[in-house]
Amino acid sequence: MGSGLKIFLNDLKNSFKDLVPIVAVVIFFQAVIVRTVPDNLASIAIGLLIVAVGLALFIRGLELGIFPIGESLAVDFARKGSLFWLLLFAFTIGFSTTVAEPALIAIADKAAAISAGRIDAFFLRMTVAFSVGFAIALGVFRILTGHPIHYYIITGYILVVAITFFAPREIVGLAYDSGGVTTSTVTVPLVAALGIGLASSIKGRNPAIDGFGLIAFASLTPMIFVQLYGIAVYALAPENAAASLAVVEEAVRETVESKEHFDPADILWDLVAVVKDVVPILAVIFFFQYFVIKKGVAHLHRILVGIVLVILGLYAFILGLEMGLFPIGETIAFQLTAMKNDLLIYLFGFLIGFSTTMAEPALLAIAMKAEEVSEGRINQNILRISVALGVAVGIALGAYRIVVGDQIHYYIIGGYIVVILMTYFAPRYIIPIAYDSGGVTTSTVTVPLVAALGLGLAENIAGRNPLIDGFGLIAFASLFPMITVMGYGIYAHYAAGKSIYRKESA
């Protein structure tokens, strides 16, 4: 008990350290730029405290429950030797967790409202969920066959770019964004554990090289499927009347409005929402464990404690965000877009992108696993900083794209070309992790603030269409971390080579 408490207190200390950049950014913009004192200052402070506690509980739950059961399932499936059941499990995990993903639901509802119903929220969610299920199954197949991941990813990028030239403008930004909102805070560590466990149990596979990459597939395929959905909708569906300005303003306002008072009655519903997100994952896991593998769960008591900690931690994390960060962050984002000061918008995008990414639970989970399986070659703190820097640059550049009115696919295509070129220079062990990093950056913390900034910009700048220009920031936040992480890998590999050369010359 004493050692467990000591570990938790250490996790809590690290959680507070992760929140320092967010607090610094918010205080700076609130005090220096907006120059107002929030009315609910006490609620914000309490909310940030709850966020830290929630993050610490979440990490402890991952270690006790999600990581062990994911890796155990992978080992059991490998021993069973049934390709059909393994691929079906992978598809079901991807589909069931994505269809209920809150960030995807929010983005789909906004797209339906702004397009005056031409884009159907339900069918959009089904399209994305099916694509993620397909992606996880394809990623598992890649691990089984041992194919290099970049062959799949580069082919996927080529397909994304090719389809973009046929897709309607109204769907492109939304499709690119859909790749960044598919992997939830619980799904990411489970899928990572599945991939690493599978690679560890197959002879000839390297967990660092072959175990990662499933999240990258889940971020890539929705961009292809959603663009195909858009082509079908705009070619076959009858044209609705254009969305009125009032409809657009209402959809944007719902995205960026802040809560003036936190309703305690929301606490129960937040807990119910978190349980609803986790239940499909648990149902899939235990169904396959008991009815397909036909084997009990080892250390079930410990696993269940870990799952409960994950639920409570994620619930506290989201509750604290709603009390502390979201209200003030969304207010600042909307006020900055109304001020029409472009440099301040870029600075806010950069700083909020960096600071919120450093606190992303999904990124923390991946970084922990990356350091573990790479046997120390990858430092989790440097990896997180590299990813956060990529998100920061991506959001700032995405905001610039909205301000000047450029078409999004020129930037995305340019970014993909850079990723492809860097793939051939980066060490093999960093490539799958770099690809995965693009899918773990836009989760619980980042998506609401980034959506508020993008839609707020598109509404306040003359000549911009929220449906065409307001989406896309999440895509930028998913693309650039791949570049910065591979850059980190190239530098680390080069520095290690120089060190070895000096020792040999001495």
Q: How far apart are CA 126 and CA 368, in angstroms?
A: 32
Domain that holds residue 59: 2-505
Cα-Cα-Cα-Cα dihedral of 477, 483, 484, 485, to 10°?
100
pLDDT at 385: 94
Name the residue with tokens 């994911």: 70
Rounded distance between C-alpha atoms, residue 272 and residue 255, angstroms? 22
Please give the pLDDT value at position 259: 45
> What pLDDT does 243 receive?
47
Q: How far apart are CA 297 and CA 309, in angstroms?
A: 18
- Amino acid in the structure at residue 158: I
Number of domains in the chain: 1
Q: Is 244 helix (H, G, I), strand (E, B) or coil?
A: coil
Helix (H/G/I), strand (E/B), else coil: 163: helix
pLDDT along the chain (506 residues), means of 10: 72 81 83 75 81 85 86 85 88 84 71 75 90 94 92 91 87 80 74 89 86 90 92 72 49 46 62 79 88 86 90 83 70 74 88 86 86 84 94 93 87 90 91 88 68 75 77 85 94 72 53
Q: Convert 200-213 into a string of H (helix), E (strand) and C (coil).
A: HHCCCCCHHHHCCC
Q: Which helix (H) or strand (E) holds 409?
A: helix 408-423
Give the C-alpha separation, 149 to 152, whole Å.
Answer: 6
The reported pLDDT for the residue numbered 2 is: 63
Distance CA 360, CA 340 (A): 29
pLDDT at 258: 42
Amino acid at 345: I
Structure tokens at 198: 């599978």
Structure tokens that stand for 293 in this block: 């593998």
> Can you give the pLDDT at residue 103?
66
pLDDT at 4: 67
Residue 378 structure tokens: 């990858």
pLDDT of residue 392: 94
